[in-house]
Amino acid sequence: MPFKSTPQPFKAAINAVTIGVGDKAMTIGGENVLPLYTFDAPIANPPKVGFEITDTGLELAIPGIAALYEGTSTIGERAKKAETLEGVDFISLKFAGADPNGENKSAEDCAAVAKEVASATSLPIVVEGCGNAEKDAALFEKVADALADRNVLFMSAKEENYKAVGAAVGLAYGQKVGAESSVDINLAKQLNVLLSQLGVKNENIAINPGSAAVGYGFEYVASTMERIKAAALSQNDTSLQMPIVTPVASEAFNVKEAVVSEEDMPEWGPAEQRGIDMEISTAVSAITYGSNAVILRHPESVKTVSSFVKAMTE
Amino acid sequence: MSVLTDLIYAGSDAVAGLTEGLVNDAIKQYGAEKTIAFPDTAYFLPTIYAATGVKVKTLGDLPACVDVLKSLISKKEDLGEALNAGLATAVGAEIIEALKYVGKEDPYAEETGIGFVPDPVIRSLGVPLVTGDIPGVAVVLGKSEDASAAADIVKDYQSKGILTFLVGDIIDQIADAGVKMGLEFRVVPLGHDVTAVTHAVTVAIRAALIFGNITPGDLPGLLAYTKERVLAFVNTFGALSEIVVSAGAGAIALGFPVIVDIDLAENQVPGALESVLDHKETVKHSLNLRGIKIKLKEIPIPVAFAAAFEGEIIRKNDMHAEFSSQKNPAFELVAMRDENEIEDHKLTLVGPDIDGEAPVGLPLGIVVEIYGAKMQPDFEPVIERKLHHWLNYIEGVMHTGQRNLIHIRINKEAYEKGLRLKDLAEALYCMVMDEFDSVVDKCQVTLYTEKDTVQQLLDTVAVPRYDARDERLNSMNDESCDTFYSCILCQSFAPSHVCIITPERLGLCGAVSWLDAKATKELTPLGPCQPVPKEGCLDETKGIYTEVNKAVETASQGMVHNVTLYSLMQDPMTSCGCFECICGIEPFSNGVIIVNREYKGMTPLGMSFGELASMTGGGVQTPGFMGHGRHFISSKKFISAEGGVERIVWMPKELKDAVGDKLNATAKELYGIDNFIDMIGDETITEDPEALLNFLTEKGHPVLNLAPLM
């Protein structure tokens, strides 16, 4: 019997969320099929690939990244270089230096950095905090003000600070709010509901329901994302129809496989390549399970992952 | 007409007349094309814009607005109509203030007041307002007879983090008293003219537009938002002019209560317009009226307070003081009270403190009294159970037990650091207000250490209360309630599992009773426990309800479609993995065995607890096997579809001992069997199914006469 393909698009769809302004603005989400199921219906907006820049410049320790930035001295110049990368859709600016347990840069200083980066690039911008809930809330408020006209996505509002972040980023400045929960569909849903009760509109929310490097509990992430997409599409659960943005960089480059030096583990080969491999495997897996955008650190990963997206969606 | 509405209409008329005159003068002077705008705002004249959607841009736009405001003054003898006239005053005041900015860069340059509050300031204020970091907004206006009392009030607001706007001569009185003013100090002078109050009003209104997504022109939406979300109130000082009264009516229309310091006698409107003559009461009364709760950020006690100290053991030699039910009367009690019976944050010690030579041994009665609009007697035990944790969180304090069987020790180090009994009360107060703020509005803690008083309270207050609770627990059954609860606390690792919790069937973990679930819902409205109406009964014996099935289907994301509440064989409830016990069919006897998690040995089924768990957990339905809590065993609802507890043929000895009395009582009530527990086998009798059958036959176990399970 010949195989007869029966497309099965859903009646429900993931929300389309636009980030950035002008020609380079990007839209994530919008699809009415499971991740990469192009055979059921065309994917409205293929997953997007972002490149991470940190305010501290710690990633410059990686030779491949240092090479990209050769001849630059300011973060603005670095952002300009990053814009030229093959396959990059957006810039993710991470304020690692704002951490109160680290450099503890003030929110005002960070806002100035954000302005510098914004004036250097016309790509959409995602802002990542330092992870400290209280500091991020203060930081995001200043940066949301500084980038008021850029339609920025802020990563992220968590259970501890969703009110402050939601009110500042989502309500006061009308920017996009990233809702972060830890690998549990119900927590993800609860945070989305809380944000919308606060007054943030669903179409202004993207979610990060947790991330992990492959081999480091990624199966939990995969299962959570899978269930979120299933509930969003097959059950038309409006409080789970937000597109997923997964920060891969910080996970992939922090695991043993990426960190241990070649001197310590000669049989593993060059450390940089291992980091790239971890990043690509994690990003590709995340996209396969439902990420609508991934944030990456290495130029090589950006190139490979964007070509993977192309191959899968065109 | 009442005096009040008279005054409001008179004030509104005066403002309307004044506004009209000023508008006409301004148009004469500058022409109708002249621009009118407040500085730094995208909301035009915010009150007019929000209420009507009209964007006032030039002086020529104003006459129409004046007509609208005049139309609001209906002169009808009705408080609601009069309050609308108050809104007219707000609109008039806004126009008058806006006219000040026509032809002048900064009309407030010569003033202490700051005048119009620009949008960026509101955006920055909005966040702490939304998060509760600024718990409320006070608008203080007039001129006080007693300047220092007014200053004390403002200082009190300041210390509580409340944002205070000042209007009128009170600005100078507060400034003279040395109160620091400015946005960063949360005391903001607006202006000396009474119309400057509009600058406070537009803050509330723009908050609604910016943070509430209110569409301009949606007046009902706007009023609902300001009433529910902007926790503002007004304090007036000194005699009231008709304009102030009318402006106050506008505030009331926005949902902001007005508290005046002169006697309004019968003209008071409870909840909206009240007199408080004693300035010492103004703050408390205002906060109460607006339902503003102040949270303490840190617990002011001389030792540390953290969950990390929970496991602290205090040995006899390190002990400074001890309270033990075995030596002295001692108890702890959380009791619900009426609003007027208690005073918030009143901490009292009745009797001696722990000063003196170690070891100090005293009786102790801890009485935590609570009032809350949403409080229910059923939450008392839920909060009371937390006392154990909170006392343990105090560094140098150890607590065990509950109710009237408690044991508390305080170590020498904590005593030397200055810890006294009042600090225990303070810690309890802070934690009640922090963790249970959604149901608790007021809390008062009293500690008693005199033997006779403690004994008397124990006998007359505490024990009757405990008894009443037990009585309620025992009388609660699935028939008499109308709501069950779902619990999905475990879904992080058992994604398709849902517990349905009923009064007679607690969660399989043993940790979530029906009361806990009910309290969880109240405390975390979007949390893991959601109400399931007991509706659509399809089979009472098996416990099949359409609403339950619906809830299970939704909460399991479509993985489980039907569950029964009381059957082991048909659609048994799923299990996550944290069940206290597993019940499984024993085919030789037609009965069931129950095995608890702690039991390491073999069962007559030839499977250990772990082996049984692997086929029961994970959110799957395995007819014939089911996880459940210990307390469920003696429930009359335990597999009642299959005949109930008389199916039980085997349990580990430890479990038998633990549930024996209650199980005997249930068997006696249901079947008239005495000492049923003695008919049940355990590992000391046999782990072999055939030997078990012989044992059951010998004992005349009722299961042998029951219909086959399969």
CA distance readout (Å), A194 to A101, A166, A230, B206: 29, 10, 21, 22
Count H helices, E strands: chain A? 11, 10
Whether the CB-CB separation of B69 and B88 falls below 8 Å is answered with: yes
d(CA B708, CA B583): 17
Tell whether the model's pLDDT for residue B491 goes beyond 60.
yes
Three-class SS state of A310: helix
Residue A202 C-alpha, separation from nearest chain B C-alpha, in angstroms? 13
Residue written as token pair 């096997």:
B625
Whether the CB-CB separation of B646 and B703 falls below 8 Å is answered with: yes
d(CA A14, CA B656): 53
Three-class SS state of A257: helix
Residue B663 C-alpha, separation from nearest chain A C-alpha, in angstroms? 37
What is the model's pLDDT at position B237? 95
What is the model's pLDDT at position B559? 86
Whether the CB-CB separation of B333 and B384 falls below 8 Å is answered with: yes
Average pLDDT over residues B603-631: 90
Tens-digit pLDDT profile for residues B372-398: 988 999 889 889 988 998 999 999 999
Three-class SS state of A19: strand
Pick from B390, B287, B292: nearest CA to B334 = B390
CA distance readout (Å), A56 to A93, A134, A258: 11, 20, 20
Q: Does B120 touch chain A (CB under 8 A)?
A: yes
Closest residue in chain A to residue B213, using alpha carbons only: A199
Residue from B43, B123, B134 whose CB has the most chain A CBs within 10 Å, to mutate: B123
Q: Does B127 touch chain A (CB under 8 A)?
A: yes
Pairing of strands A17-19, B273-275: unpaired
d(CA B534, CA B543): 10
Residue B170, both tokens = 């009170």
Query: B419 or B525: which carries more pLDDT confidence?
Result: B419
Tens-digit pLDDT profile for residues A143-190: 999 999 999 999 999 999 999 999 999 999 999 999 999 999 889 999
Tens-digit pLDDT profile for residues B130-179: 888 889 999 999 999 999 999 999 999 998 889 999 999 999 999 999 99
What is the model's pLDDT at position B105? 86
Query: Is B3-100 in CATH node 3.50.30.50?
Result: no
In sequence order, which residues have a C-beta less than 8 Å from that of residue B689 and are 6 or more positions away?
A: B586, B587, B588, B589, B604, B605, B606
Q: Is A25 exposed, middle or buried (0-12, 13-18, 19+ CB in 10 A)?
A: middle
Average pLDDT over residues B76-95: 92
What is the model's pLDDT at position A278? 97
Contact A172 B211 (CB under 8 A): yes
What is the model's pLDDT at position B65? 93
Whether the CB-CB separation of A75 and A81 falls below 8 Å is answered with: no
Indicate the DSSP class of residue B703. G
Pick from B602, B605, B665, B604: nearest CA to B633 = B665
Cα–chain center distance at B50: 32
Q: How many CB atoms lie within 10 A of CB B684?
A: 9
Dump the DSSP string for B38-104: -TT-SSSSHHHHHHH-----BGGGHHHHHHHHHHH----S-HHHHHHHHHHHHHHHHHHHHHHTTT-
Average pLDDT over residues B233-248: 93
In sequence order, which residues have a C-beta less than 8 Å from that of residue A122 and are 6 or more positions away?
A: A22, A23, A24, A83
Three-class SS state of B35: strand
d(CA B180, CA B280): 21
Q: Do domains B119-290 and B483-705 have the same CATH topology?
A: no
Closest residue in chain A to residue B558, using alpha carbons only: A235
Q: Does B210 touch chain A (CB under 8 A)?
A: yes
Contact A227 B131 (CB under 8 A): no
Residue B351 C-alpha, separation from nearest chain A C-alpha, in angstroms? 41
Looking at CATH, the fold of the domain delimited by B483-705 is given as 3.40.1470
What is the model's pLDDT at position B648? 97
Average pLDDT over residues B457-477: 89
Amino acid code (one letter) for B614: S
Cα Dmax for chain A:
68
Residue from B122, B526, B560 whose CB has the most chain A CBs within 10 Å, to mutate: B526
Q: Does A186 touch chain B (CB under 8 A)?
A: yes
Residue B72, both tokens = 């609001």
Instruction: Output the pTM of the full model.
Output: 0.76
d(CA A152, CA A168): 13
Average pLDDT over residues B338-363: 93
Looking at CATH, the fold of the domain delimited by B119-290 is given as Rossmann fold (3.40.50)
Q: Does A231 touch chain B (CB under 8 A)?
A: yes
Residues in chain B within 8 Å Cβ distance of A231: 557
CATH code for the domain defined by B307-473: 3.30.1650.10
Q: Is A250 exposed, middle or buried (0-12, 13-18, 19+ CB in 10 A)?
A: middle
Whether the CB-CB separation of B431 and B349 falls below 8 Å is answered with: no
What is the model's pLDDT at position B184? 87
d(CA A292, CA A272): 26
Complex prediction ipTM: 0.77
Residue A237 C-alpha, separation from nearest chain B C-alpha, in angstroms? 10
For the four alpha carbons of A248, A253, A256 and A258, in that order, the dihedral sign comes to positive
Tens-digit pLDDT profile for residues A92-140: 999 999 999 999 999 999 999 999 999 999 999 999 999 999 999 999 9
d(CA A304, CA B221): 51
Name A308's bridge partners. none
Residue written as token pair 């809830």:
B551
Pick from B103, B111, B289: nearest CA to B199 = B111
Pick from A130, A138, A137: nearest CA to A102 = A130
Residues in chain B within 8 Å Cβ distance of A184: 491-492
Three-class SS state of B241: coil
Closest residue in chain A to residue B489, using alpha carbons only: A186
Tens-digit pLDDT profile for residues A226-265: 999 999 998 888 999 999 999 999 999 999 999 999 999 9
Residue from B211, B213, B550 whose CB has the most chain A CBs within 10 Å, to mutate: B211
Q: Is A134 exposed, middle or buried (0-12, 13-18, 19+ CB in 10 A)?
A: exposed
B359 preceded by cis ω (within 30°)?
Answer: yes
Per-chain mean pLDDT for chain B: 92
Tens-digit pLDDT profile for residues B556-576: 888 899 999 999 999 999 988
Residue A231, both tokens = 């509930």
Tell whether the model's pLDDT for residue B277 goes beyond 60.
yes
Tens-digit pLDDT profile for residues A191-200: 999 999 888 9
Residue B140, both tokens = 């203080």
Residues in chain A within 8 Å Cβ distance of B492: 183-184, 186-187
Contact B557 A194 (CB under 8 A): no
Q: Kindly report the backbone phi and psi dihedral angles of residue A221, in degrees, each rounded to the nearest multiple of 5, phi listed first.
A: -60, -45
Three-class SS state of B19: helix
Average pLDDT over residues B266-294: 91
Q: Kindly report the backbone phi and psi dihedral angles of residue B647, in degrees, each rounded to the nearest multiple of 5, phi listed first.
A: -80, -15
Enumerate the domain spans of chain B: 3-100, 119-290, 307-473, 483-705
All structural domains of chain A, each given as residue ranges with its CATH number in brackets, are 19-313 (3.20.20.20)
Q: Does A141 touch chain B (CB under 8 A)?
A: yes
Identify the H or E element spanning B335: strand B330-336
Q: Does A233 touch chain B (CB under 8 A)?
A: no
Residue A34, both tokens = 């499971």
What is the model's pLDDT at position B531? 96
CA distance readout (Å), B313 to B151, B317, B642, B694: 49, 12, 47, 49
Pick from A72, A53, A116: nearest CA to A299 = A53
Tens-digit pLDDT profile for residues A24-65: 999 999 999 999 999 999 999 999 999 999 999 999 999 999
What is the model's pLDDT at position B1? 52
